[in-house]
Amino acid sequence: MPFVQCDLEVGLSDAKKTALVRKMTEITHKAIESAYGHINVVLREHPASNIGEAGGQVAPWSPNENAKSRAAAQSKVA
């Protein structure tokens, strides 16, 4: 029985968590051919103040800021 753990910042909606669990289950199934019913996914949420990145504290997550950051990153690639 595989257990897949995902640590993430607090803030995802229940719908997005459900989608994440489904996708992680699908990927695990394809990677190791484990039966869907045997795959366990555990989401562990943490406040931004408990997360460090590049030597600093992570700013609180915001769906709008996240979308802006992605758009900015994509425009640099294009």
Domains of the chain: 3-77 (3.30.429.10)
Quick one: average pLDDT of 14-43? 97
Tell me the pairing of strands 56-57 and 52-53: antiparallel
Do residues 61 and 11 make contact, with C-beta atoms less than 8 angstroms apart? yes
Computed over every residue of the chain, the mean pLDDT equals: 85
Q: Which residue has the tokens 């406040």?
A: 47
Label residue 76 by pLDDT band (50, 70, 90). Answer: low
